[in-house]
Amino acid sequence: MNTNETPNLCGLKREDFQTTINGKKTDLYILKNKLGNEVAITNYGGALVAIMVPDKDGNYANVIQGHDNIQDVINSPEPYLSTLIGRYGNRICKGKFQLNGKEYQLPINDGENSLHGGKDGFNRKVWDALRMNEETVVLNYISSYGEEGFTGEVKVTVAYTFNDDNELIIDYLATTNKKTIICLTNHGFFSLAGIANPTPTVDNVELEMNANFYLPIDAQSIPTGEIRFVEGTPFDFRTPKTIGERINDDNEQLKNGSGYDHNYVLNKKEEGELSFAARLYEPNSGRTMEVYTTEPGLQLYTGNFENGISGTHGATYPRRSAVCLEAQHFPDSPNHPYFPSVVLRPGQQYKQTTIYKFGTRKQQLTDYIQ
């Protein structure tokens, strides 16, 4: 082996991610910080394919669900597995919305609704990639006028940075030449115990959410329009509790989502501030993940529709083996005028910063008290 080469912790090979799609080349980008930890990304859909961080004892594992080659990314049974989402993250009721008095129709790809930008969203695009340094890669994509039924040509830049504080920082910037709607996010499927065959369920993972309210959904997973207080419900994570504690309660909302698949209204002192949103703690590994975002909402999804997907290096992803914490504006916002606006106009910039910060902690004192 060339002594100048440092083997990757994630074991992924660049050549396994290289192909050409419609004249554009796909590749693998491995970000490394000074602690030796890694984040691996492909420019196909901006998919996160590995996050290598240590547990409380210094043992490394991949804590995000993905695939180990480009063909499996392209053909994944879960097309949004840890990818960028756009032009509109989450659902739009019946794929319809109005703008300037005109009704627009988006592709229907989730029951009666449009989900995550339609049938051929940002998760299926080859982004232009620019490697800035060891810690940063910048992705660019131009979404043409009329793509997936959306109005306006939208130019999107997404920068991934993995710094020496073990923070994966995702910065988004978008502009348009015509009034349109936009809601961008990353659909990371996090498994803090480490992916395995099978990957453990997230039942014992503790979640804390900085949100007093959430959005109830109907049987089609569309917000009803109500903004409901979490107190006295299985949706109250204002103080940490395990995801599995109440996920199977006899509760209409949990039945509608087949578990947690709901948008939380984050507590904010002012619109657009970068603030604490959520924290995960996996007790067996001691790994933690904190989420900070400028977005008003955070979608909690517990992998309810995974069914044993084959993943990286022989791992499998059973039902409820991941937690998704998708920073975003609210689902179906164009059809709820009192939700935070998702309209983008010429001359304006859409901006978002979301941070996933990884760490560890030993067991809490209360864990030793019987």
Strands (E) across 296-349 are located at 297-301, 309-310, 316-317, 324-328, 343-344
Strands (E) across 144-260 are located at 154-162, 167-176, 180-181, 185-186, 206-209, 211-214, 228-229, 241-242
Measured CA to CA, the distance from residue 347 to residue 158 in angstroms comes to 19
Instruction: Outline where 48-89 has alpha helix (H).
Output: 70-74
Strands (E) across 178-233 are located at 180-181, 185-186, 206-209, 211-214, 228-229
Asked if 116 is an active-site residue, the reply is: no
Asked if 313 is an active-site residue, the reply is: no
| HSE toward the beta carbon, residue 350, CA cutoff 13 A | 29
The one catalytic residue among 78, 116, 326, 329:
326
Q: Residue 163 to residues 31, 52, 115, 283, 290: CA-CA distances in angstroms?
A: 9, 13, 32, 25, 14
3-state SS assignment for residue 276: strand
**Two structure tokens written together for 160:** 């991934």
Measured CA to CA, the distance from residue 50 to residue 267 in angstroms comes to 30
Which value, in Å, is the radius of gyration of the alpha carbons in the chain? 20
The β-bridge partners of 84 are 186
In this structure, are residues 311 and 66 in contact, taking their beta carbons and an 8 Å threshold?
yes
In this structure, are residues 328 and 89 in contact, taking their beta carbons and an 8 Å threshold?
yes
The one catalytic residue among 187, 282, 290, 329:
187
Comparing CA positions, the residue from 356, 254, 351 lying closest to residue 302 is 254
- Residue 94: is it exposed, middle or buried by C-beta count within 10 angstroms (0-12/13-18/19+)? middle
- Residue listed under structure tokens 């991941």: 322
- Residue 79: is it exposed, middle or buried by C-beta count within 10 angstroms (0-12/13-18/19+)? middle
Q: Which residue numbers are catalytic?
A: 187, 326
